[in-house]
Structure 1
Amino acid sequence: MRSHPSVLTASAVRGDSRPRSGRATTNRAVRSAIISLVGLLGSVVRNQTGQEVGRLADVVVRLDGEEQYPPVTGLVVRVGRRRVFVGAADIAAIGRDGVTLRTARLDLRDFVRRPGEVLLARDVLDHQLVDVDGVQVIRAADLYLAPVGDRIRLVGVDVGVRSLLRRLGPKRLRGRPTPERVIDWDAVAPLGGESADAPSTVRLRRSQEALHRLRPGELADLLEDLGRPGRQQLLASLEPEQAADALEEMDPDELEGLLRESSPDRAAELIGAMEPDEAVDALRDLSPQERDELLKRMPAPTRERLRGLLRYPEKQAGGFMTTVLVTAGEDDTVGAVRARLGGLAEHRNEIDAVVVCDAQHRVVADVGLFDLLVTPAEERLGELVHAGTHTDPVVVEPEADAGRVAAALVEARRSSLLVVDPDCHPLGRILADDVIDALISGDDRMHFPRLLQ
């Protein structure tokens, strides 16, 4: 059993994927020259005179750059009881029948991995992959090498059942790849991770670009399907806001498991980055001791905000509202408010209106984002409020139950409403999907996509 599976991202070059031009596996010459790693393992390594010097144990590539197809930098050859390294400069040919070297001289010192090197059989074969196009977790059943330019390079991955069966069959069948099943390596990049078996590798720009194309719900699905090391590596590769958005879309039981398998500091950091209402849901699923431990590790403002929300029962308005609010005065201009909204992009899913307050910070109006968009920038909010027809605030007290909140929202035909104290000071906002979550029982609770996502 492997101690630390490497997690990779991949986009499949299949009928249901989005092929990209310039990929190696779409080139006929490359496809005809593809070499199966599984077929190579254990094959004969010969010197320049044709004499056997050992057996191939693994293939080494470098993944610490941004090359489209990682070059083979060497081989690990088993010579007697030793595993020795043969550099790429000493390799004359790699073929389906084995390896031929340019020299008869070998450095018989035991192989030691250098920074940035990855052993394909040990670190990648049979390890988890993330198919970004299909948004699913898969495993590498075989890896493919081919000459590209003047180097032998890693060009593809096979995750098909046929490749797995080929490995279990007679040795003579293992070197016969099925190129039509190849996933092009151009869409594959390491997410990192570190263990004795797989030293940390640089996260590549390609990997980040692929992950950033995924929606939070898709990332949540991947996190739920990955094993423990895999999901920690995937989370580590995401920006904090993107990771938080993905966690908010996870099944509550899966999220609870992820938090428990994380270190307390990491779990506190993840919850602290979530929207307040979602963070409170996650904390409620933990034991009181676990909850207090994580809260202690959060910055004081975050801790106090979440403690305040936890004081309300789960099914009351105060218990499932978000405290992310944008407030403004009647004398503020529309342009100034727009500028402030531009700096709150990470909260875009929690903001669908701006609260207009008077000098005593009491709610006067709730102005939707569309009204702010179509109103001249120089106009003051007070003018907009007095002229508008859709700015009247819909409010409930924090003790209102979920049924009453739902009724108020339906009657007003709005996407959200405000939670206010007895003096009409704004405390938080409740969006339509928050109401749905609150109305569903705890065992069946699920997270619906944000209305504005």
Structure 2
Amino acid sequence: MSNSPVPTTTKSALRLSQLLRHAVVDSQGKQLGKLADVIVRLRGDDYPLVTALVVKVGSETIYVPIADVAALEPNRVELTTARLNVRAFQRRPGEVLLNADVLGHRLIDVHMASLVRAHDIYLSSDTATWAVTGLNVHQTHWWSTRKTISTDPARDWKSFEALIGHEPSVLVRAPFGKLRRLKAAQIADLIETADAKEQSELLTQVHNDPEFEADVFEELDEDSLTHLLKSRSTADVASVLTRMRADDAADAITDLPQARRREVLALLPEPQHTKVLALLGYHTATAGGLMGVEYLALAEHATIQDALDLIRTSTTQQPEALTTIYSTADDGTLRGAISIIRALQTDPHRPLREVADPDPVHAAPQDDIIDVTTRMADFNLLTLPVLDESGHILGIITVDDALEAALPQDWQRREPQTHASLTPGAV
């Protein structure tokens, strides 16, 4: 059970802007200094707990534990003592400085899968503790006639993931933190719009799950992917590409310098090395360059049930590649195709040669993108097989890859739209 304090309303919560640079007084009301920052400790999915204050006393910066604080009030902080321990402040793993790390900085709105800026921070208390429970991400401009932003809605802290840029604190978080609610494509969009420091923290968190990291890299646009791979060691690049789809890995390797390309290829395990090397022989703007080498093909005497059983066990293959079942002759040449929907609606004991559409629409590896997309649109295809001169399947093109290739570059690079999360319980 969570021990999180209950978020309060904007009216009853204390805003950080009401505390910063205001007086810190002793138990007799004498001013000792001014508040410079508030220190909180990350607690996974719980609200960060206030553990200490940073007080500016003359030219010194003093650490004051929360146990020495009698009251936090708008424009005033009262201590329980008149004496301050002048020990130097040193941040520990898991600690966040609200003013230095969060206020005015960008963080991830997990609900909307976008980067936003924290314009104020809300602190709430129960009988014993103070915790961060809310954020205001609505900017008040200098020309606004409002004298306070307290009327702006306070968003729940749990709807955000702070990018604090402090590596020891990042590493003590639960893997992914709140980012686990996001899809790979959403995190890729965040990385593409983040600055170098924000990218570094996002990549550090994503790196905790190598399989998901590969999914994120597959979703990055070409420029971002090239930039990130160039900044990594050869071993790191090979590790990521090993987990990527062979066609995406081949596209990524193409943009590396020739010498480094050979080094990365040498580190790829079989059969990934063989698949990638074969795909590198095709121009990226052709059917051969667009195709993936994962597909579902069975001998034409196999039954529908055999195909469905194979789909159930093909958990590592790209789902889009499993939407069509291909049948082959004894010599391996393509004979027929049937969609998974038609297969599910057919007697499972019937052999593929009786139910698959004969002579499926296909492409040659040298066909260009226009030929591929036109053919897929004309015949309403989710996948298009690419055949060699003998009629053997070299690979297939999925509709998502065809669509991405057909989109103009300026359309692909437009500002991504934000979409609210459908995660149950999201604020």
TM-score range, shorter chain: 0.7 to 0.9
The answer (yes or no) to whether the contact 1:64–1:201 under 8 Å persists in 2 is: no
Instruction: Please list, as runs of the form range in 1=range in 2, the aligned pairs for 1:369-384 lying within 5 A after superposition.
Output: 369-377=340-348, 379=349, 383-384=350-351
- Give SS of 2:34's match: strand
Q: Out of 46, 57, 71, which is 2:49 matched to?
A: 71
Q: Percent identity between the aligned chains?
A: 30
Q: Deviations over 1:334-362 (max 9, x none)?
A: 44533432342661133321232344433
Amino acid aligned to 1:422: E
CA distance in 2: counterparts of 1:336 and 1:218, whole angstroms: 36
Select 2:186's aligned residue among 209, 218, 225.
218
For the residues of structure 1 that align with 2:79 and 2:172, how far apart are their CA atoms?
A: 29
1:291 lines up with 2:261 in the alignment: yes
Cα displacement (A) at 1:438: 4.7
Post-superposition Cα deviations, 1:34-85, rounded to whole Å, max 9, x if no partner, equal 2222331222222222222332221111114331x22211112233443332
Question: Secondary structure in 1 aligned to 2:335?
Answer: strand
The CA deviation string for residues 156-185 of structure 1, in whole angstroms up to 9 with x for no partner, is 1222221x649x99xxx7xx5425242221
Residue of structure 1 equivalent to 2:319:
348
CA shift, 1:94, in A, is 0.7
**Are the aligned partners of 1:75 and 1:86 in contact in 2 as well (CA < 8 Å)?**
yes
Mapped to 1, the partners of 2:293 and 2:316 lie a distance apart of 16
Q: Give the alignment partner of residue 189 of structure 1, picking from 161, 164, 183.
A: 161
2:336 is paired with a residue whose SS is: strand
Residues 45 and 436 of structure 1, relative CA distance in 2, 3 Å threshold:
closer
Equivalent position SS for 1:70:
strand
Higher mean C-alpha displacement, 241-250 vs 415-424: 241-250
Equivalent-residue separation in structure 1 for 2:294 and 2:130 (angstroms): 54
Kindly state the Cα deviation for residue 323 of structure 1 after the two structures are TM-superposed.
Answer: 0.6
SS of equivalent to 1:386: helix
Describe how 1:10-409 pairs up with structure 2 within 5 A. Answer: 27=8, 30-67=9-46, 69-148=47-126, 150-162=128-140, 165=142, 176-190=148-162, 194-195=166-167, 200-203=171-174, 207-211=178-182, 214=183, 216-238=184-206, 239-330=209-300, 332-342=302-312, 343-344=314-315, 347-377=318-348, 379=349, 383-388=350-355, 390=357, 392-406=359-373, 408-409=375-376
**CA-to-partner distance for each residue in 1:112-168, whole Å, 9 max, x for gaps?**
222211111122222221223333222212222122453211121222221x649x9
Q: CA deviation at 1:414?
A: 2.3
Residues 261-285 of structure 1 show CA distances to partners (whole Å, capped at 9, x for unaligned) of: 4444444434443333333333334
Give the letter for the 2:78 counterpart.
Answer: T
**Structure 2 CA distance for partners of 1:399 and 1:204, relative to 1, 3 Å:** closer
Q: Is the 8 A contact 1:23 1:186 kept in 2?
A: no
**2 CA distance for matches of 1:151 and 1:59?**
14
Partners of 2:285 and 2:89 in 1: how far apart?
61
Q: Does the C-alpha gap of structure 1 residues 405 and 55 become closer, same or farther in structure 2, counting only changes over 3 Å?
A: closer
Q: Deviations over 1:205-257 (max 9, x none)?
A: 7604432xx4x543333222111232233244344454444444443233333
Against the structure 1 CA distance between its residues 416 and 323, is the aligned structure 2 distance closer, same or farther, given a 3 Å change threshold? same
Please, which moves more after superposition, 55-64 or 283-292? 283-292
Q: Cα gap change, 1:240/1:337 in structure 2, threshold over 3 Å: closer, same or farther?
A: farther
Alpha-carbon contact 1:190-1:207 (below 8 Å) kept: no
Hey, what does 1:15 align to over in structure 2? none
1:36 maps to a residue whose letter is R
Larger RCO, structure (CA 8 Å, separation 6 or more): 1
- Structure 1: distance between partners of 2:325 and 2:165: 42
Q: Tell me the SS of whatever aligns to 1:350.
A: helix
Kept in 2, the 8 Å contact 1:317–1:399? The answer is: yes
Deviates more, 1:324-333 or 1:130-139: 324-333
Check conservation: 1:366, 1:391, Cα contact below 8 A.
yes
In structure 2, relative to structure 1, the CA distance for the partners of 1:81 and 1:335 (3 Å cut) is farther
Amino acid in structure 2 at the alignment position of 1:419: V
Contact 1:193–1:200 at 8 Å: present in 2 too? no
Q: Note the C-alpha offset of 1:429.
A: 0.3
Work out whether residues 33 and 147 of structure 1, in 8 Å CA contact, stay in contact via their aligned partners in 2: no
Aligned equivalents of 2:138, 2:389: Cα separation in 1: 63
1:321, distance to aligned residue in structure 2 (A): 0.8
Whichever residue aligns with residue 361 of structure 1, its letter is: G
Helix, strand or coil at the partner of 2:310: helix
CA distance in 1, matches of 2:187, 2:221: 12
Q: Find the counterpart in structure 1 of residue 425 from structure 2.
A: none
- Aligned residue identity for 2:392: H
**Farther-moved stretch of structure 1 (88-97 vs 47-56):** 47-56
- Residues 249 and 421 of structure 1: is their aligned pair in 2 closer, same or farther, counting only changes over 3 Å? same
Letter in 2 for 1:35: L
SS in 1 for 2:24: strand
* 2:401 aligned residue (434, 437, 441): 434
| Structure 1 residue 306 displacement after superposition | 1.3
Unmatched runs of 5 consecutive residues or more in structure 2: 415-427
SS in 2 for 1:398: coil
- Matched length: 407
Shift of 1:191: 6.2
> Aligned AA for 1:229?
K
The answer to whether the 8 A contact 1:367-1:391 is kept is: no
CA RMSD of aligned residues (A): 3.4
Q: 1:147 to 1:293 in 2, by over 3 A?
A: same
User: Match for 1:183: what amino acid?
Assistant: R
Letter in 2 for 1:47: D
